[in-house]
Amino acid sequence: MAKSKILFFDAGPIITLVMSRLIGILPDLKKKMNGKFYITPAVHKELIERPLMIKRFEFEALQVEKLIRDGVLEVYDDVPHARIEELFSLANTSFMIEGKPMEIIQAGEMESVACALEIDADGVVMDERTLRLFIEANMDMKKLLEMRFQKEVMPNIARMNTFSAMLRNVTIIRSVELIGVAYTLGLLDDYVPDEKNGRTRLLDAVLWSAKYNGCAVTEHEIEEMKRILLG
């Protein structure tokens, strides 16, 4: 039997899949991967506890709650608090704006990557761009933050590099990549329209749906994914 794949999910990709009406791929992906799909307590709070109190998001929360009830998602409670505090301290003092440190990383994101490190998970599913860029290309962070806040940002290179080095073994996966895997495995075949380029239309539709529902992916990246997946 193939080794089980262990993934931690941040809140963003699950919200993207729910809003894109693609959350149904998770049970089948879990089976195909012989996998364990985890969320942390902070992610559980963001996905279920808070939304259940807001009428607009209540049904989305119930959909995620059902995934937990069905065993598709599991809450990972053994959170390494000391490591998380160390990472928070580094990340949220790596950039200054108007003389004050910027809090750029959220609890759910940090718990997910810290837990993934702790048990050597295969990846963290995360759509938000900031932490992914911090891990993969931290020198681009200054430009991103200045564009986002329209103010000069002062980086602390030593802290940035220490943080990135601590997380260098974490693999970040976006919801669009999960959708691409689902497409390749035939999990979306029921939606292929009866037309000449039906598979192309389907793939284009699901990738753009993910983008419009929160996944940080560019048009160029979508076109590149289509080129690869369609051969």
Distance from the Cα of residue 207 to its chain's centroid: 15
Percentage of the chain modeled with pLDDT above 70 = 99
Rg (CA), the chain: 18
- The span from the CA of 96 to the CA of 108, in Å, is 22
Side-chain-side CA neighbours of residue 10 (13 Å) = 30
Residues of the chain with pLDDT under 50: 1
**β-strand partners of 75:** 39
pLDDT at 41: 96
Q: Are 44 and 75 in contact (CB under 8 A)?
A: yes
pLDDT at 138: 86
Spell out the domains of the chain, with CATH numbers in brackets. 1-231 (3.40.50.1010)
Average pLDDT over all residues of the chain: 93
pLDDT at 211: 97
pLDDT tens for each residue of 68-88: 999 999 999 999 999 999 999
Helix or strand holding residue 92 (H, E): none
pLDDT at 3: 64
Calculate the alpha carbon distances from 140 to 42, 84, 124, 147, 190 in Å.
Answer: 27, 23, 21, 11, 40
Which residues have CB under 8 Å from 5's CB, separation 6+? 33, 34, 35, 36, 122
Which residues have CB under 8 Å from 224's CB, separation 6+? none
pLDDT at 183: 97
- The closest alpha carbon to 18, from 181, 141, 127, 173, belongs to 127
pLDDT at 116: 95
| Threshold 0.75, pTM exceeds | yes
What is the C-alpha end-to-end distance of the chain, expressed in Å?
Answer: 29
